[in-house]
Amino acid sequence: MDWKAFWNNRAEMFPERLAQVGRGDGSGYAEEAERFEKTLNHIFSTLKVEEGMPVLDLCCGNGLISHALAEKGAEVLGIDFAEKLLKIAKKKAPKNARFIQGDALDLEGVVEEKFDRILLHFSLQYFTKEKEVRTLFKSMANLCSPGGMILVSDIPDSAKVGAYYTTPKDKLRRMWHKFKGQDDMGKFWKRKQLVKICSELGLSAEALDQPETLPYAHYRFDLIIRP
Ligand SMILES: C[S@@+](CC[C@H](N)C(=O)[O-])C[C@H]1O[C@@H](n2cnc3c(N)ncnc32)[C@H](O)[C@@H]1O
């Protein structure tokens, strides 16, 4: 699956910023906005962002979360490989939010500074091979300041696939996409596997359930990494 093309295409397909980054399909928009607010509050309370704190929002999409973090006072750098989403992120961005185009799997020379907090939200499923996750976690750890925190959140849980594909129609859709070799969702990860990758990289990591009030808590989890 060409995820870069997929996300650039969504930037053009939907006028609503929430839908551009995969939250709903543009219908039920007010409800979707309310659900997103809960997600944002969860990110804020986990990251405990302070005024002036350098924060990296990796795979930032159209900057929905980057803008919100900047409005909390953080100095935000957003990185994404989909230039059409980035163009939207740059529009009306708070002064303390910058954006650059880059592939999360090839960040060498792209970013030189260090960050107290690094966020990768709603995006780990697009890194479908263990080798890619290793590269990704390693570069995030290199970019994290000593004593900092990496939050990889909203990870689809392989133990809860059935809670996502619930109806026979959903299951058929999944089978069809798999048959065509184009997963519609990306990868559902095993908690243990991610924690093991971290431990092999010398990083301490904890996989956590999300609060039940979050919109995708029934099939997603968070991972906190402390380099
Ligand atoms: C579901 S969107 C989430 C965007 C944002 N994190 C949010 O939660 O609103 C997934 C994003 O991951 C980005 N992405 C996927 N693979 C990437 C890669 N290898 N490097 C940079 N960005 C990537 C896509 O372009 C897309 O913007």
pLDDT, tens digit, for every residue of 43-81?
999 999 999 999 999 999 999 999 999 999 999 999 999
The pLDDT-based confidence of 17 (bands split at 50, 70, 90) is: very high
Q: Are strands 144-156 and 115-121 parallel, antiparallel or unpaired?
A: parallel
83-90 and 3-13 helices cross at what angle (nearest 10)?
A: 50
What are the C-alpha distances in Å from 138 to residues 61, 148, 208, 219?
21, 14, 20, 26
Residue closest by Cα to atom 10 of ligand 1: 123
| Lowest-confidence pick of 12-26, 46-60, 198-212 | 12-26
**Whether CATH 3.40.50.620 fits 28-226:** no
Residue 202 main-chain phi, psi, to 5 deg: 80, 25
Is residue 28 predicted with pLDDT exceeding 80? Answer: no
Give CA torsion, residues 50, 54, 58, 60, to 10 deg: 60
Is residue 26 predicted with pLDDT exceeding 70? Answer: no
* Distance between Cα 73 and ligand 1 center (Å): 23
CB-ligand 1 contact for 7 (6 Å cutoff): yes
Q: Exposed (0-12), middle (13-18) or buried (19+): which is 55, by Cβ within 10 Å?
A: buried
Is residue 184 predicted with pLDDT exceeding 80? Answer: no
* Mean pLDDT, the chain, whole residue set: 93
Percent of residues, the chain, with pLDDT higher than 70: 98
CB-ligand 1 contact for 63 (6 Å cutoff): no
pTM: 0.95
pLDDT at 79: 98
The CA radius of gyration of the chain, in Å to the nearest whole number, is: 17
The best mutation among 47, 81, 135, 140 to test binding of ligand 1, ranked by most ligand atoms within 8 Å of the C-beta, falls on 81
Residue closest by Cα to atom 27 of ligand 1: 61
* Distance between Cα 213 and ligand 1 center (Å): 24
Is residue 82 predicted with pLDDT exceeding 90? Answer: yes
